[in-house]
Amino acid sequence: MDMIKEALPTTLDLYHLPLSSPNPIIRIADFGCSTGLTPIQAIETIVQCLLDLIKPIKEPRFRTLEFQAIFSDLPTNDFNTLFTNHLPVRRCYYAMAAPGSFHGRLLPTASLHFAYSSCALHWLSRVPQEILDKSSRAWNGERIYYVNSPAGVVGAYSAQFGRDMEMFLSARAEEMVSEGLIFMVVPGEPDLVHDSQTTLGSELELLGSCLVDMANEGIISKAKVESFNLPIYFPSEKELKQVISRNEFFHIERIQTLSHLKMHVAFPTPESRSLCLRVALEGLLCHHFGNELIIDDLFHRYSLKVAKSLFFLKPESHESISFSVVLKRKKSEENM
Ligand SMILES: C[S@@+](CC[C@H](N)C(=O)[O-])C[C@H]1O[C@@H](n2cnc3c(N)ncnc32)[C@H](O)[C@@H]1O
């Protein structure tokens, strides 16, 4: 939330923010909100910053301002849990849900003033198809992720991330008003650091090794493992900047390496680490392997391997970072 508190007052030109008349409404959306507390905190931080900015202004249109908060995620997201467990009864904004993929349009044209997305944009819209093709140089074999994969596989993942970010930004460009702001937290990897030296990369590689063990023991078929790949990509800062700069609708206001994700502090035991990954990937794995017993077995094996892994025993040997990015919607005439 520090990113919002620091960047919003300095990047927002409140007087030029297009507002409807006679009833001005500011709309704020969280894309990939999930079911936890973070989206509520983000919306409330943005609203509070705006209220602080508006307080000294005497202009009548700011006196009657109303706020609308839009919580968006895939239709399979448990919006009931989010609203039942976390949405405060007393709040100074109207809340609604917008189910659907953030890679496409979700809101009316030029209706949105602020967008927020945290730890969601690394999810790809699909696994790049060439990595599943045995005849392609980008075939990924029995690996489920791009750590230690041939360059063609990494390139295919990177290109898919580029296409997906382009779709995300183009959809938001249509939905957002001129000079509206996007705040994003994107998990990434440090420049010049190989994925096998990042915590998240190592975790996914280790999970893949458990699936290979299960295939070797005949518990699942080799073909099933070969056809499973994770639709996740962690960009470097350079790559993220390039992808955003290719888009003609947004200025980069700032991009910062946010923090090292302290997984070993948040999840101190192999079992809790295993559970954390299971929560994130269970849906995908069940859908592909189709049997909950296999998933129980998989994550039991995974916790045993985590206990012996370098990223667990020596967390300082692995890096994990995310980027905080603030973008401003260009005025329509700037796109020409
Ligand atoms: C790790 S959670 C992040 C939750 C929350 N934003 C936070 O920071 O705590 C990632 C969320 O992104 C959502 N997600 C992934 N792909 C998506 C897509 N294409 N469109 C909308 N939401 C997506 C997932 O459903 C999940 O709820």
Ligand 1 geometric centre to CA of 264 (Å): 22
Tally of helices (H runs) and strands (E runs) in the chain: 12, 7
Predicted local confidence at residue 109, as pLDDT: 96
Least confident of 12-16, 68-72, 246-250, 264-268: 264-268
Asked if pLDDT for residue 170 goes beyond 80, the answer is yes
Architecture, CATH, for domain 2-192+234-261+320-335? 3-Layer(aba) Sandwich (3.40)
**Higher-pLDDT residue of 317, 116:** 116
Asked if pLDDT for residue 59 goes beyond 90, the answer is no
Other CB atoms within 10 Å distance of the CB of residue 26 = 23
Contact yes or no for 131/229 (Cβ under 8 A) = yes
Q: How confident is the model at residue 333 (pLDDT cuts 50, 70, 90)?
A: low
Ligand 1 geometric centre to CA of 301 (Å): 26
Other CB atoms within 10 Å distance of the CB of residue 55 = 8
The pTM of the full predicted model, rounded to 2 decimals, is 0.92
Predicted local confidence at residue 194, as pLDDT: 57
The number of the ligand 1 atom at minimal distance from the alpha carbon of 164 is: 19
What distance lies between CA 312 and its chain's CA centroid?
24
The number of the ligand 1 atom at minimal distance from the alpha carbon of 101 is: 20
Residue of 123, 172, 175, 277 best suited for mutating to test ligand 1, as the one with most atoms within 8 Å of CB: 123
Mean pLDDT, the chain, as a whole number? 91
Percentage with pLDDT > 90 across the chain: 71
Residue spans per domain, the chain? 2-192+234-261+320-335, 199-229+265-318
pLDDT tens-digit series, residues 222-233: 999 999 999 999
* For residues 175-200, average pLDDT: 83
User: In this structure, which residue's CA is closest to atom 26 in ligand 1?
Assistant: 34
Predicted local confidence at residue 217, as pLDDT: 95
Predicted local confidence at residue 116, as pLDDT: 98
Residue of 4, 30, 31, 33 best suited for mutating to test ligand 1, as the one with most atoms within 8 Å of CB: 33
The number of the ligand 1 atom at minimal distance from the alpha carbon of 76 is: 25
* For residues 152-174, average pLDDT: 96
Predicted local confidence at residue 336, as pLDDT: 42
Predicted local confidence at residue 225, as pLDDT: 93
Predicted local confidence at residue 5, as pLDDT: 92
Residue of 73, 76, 124, 279 best suited for mutating to test ligand 1, as the one with most atoms within 8 Å of CB: 73
Ligand 1 geometric centre to CA of 124 (Å): 11
Instruction: Give CA separation, 9 vs 4, 6, 14, 16, 95, in Å.
Output: 8, 7, 9, 14, 23
Residue of 4, 34, 322 best suited for mutating to test ligand 1, as the one with most atoms within 8 Å of CB: 34
* For residues 247-270, average pLDDT: 83
Predicted local confidence at residue 105, as pLDDT: 98
User: In this structure, which residue's CA is closest to atom 4 in ligand 1?
Assistant: 34
* For residues 292-301, average pLDDT: 89
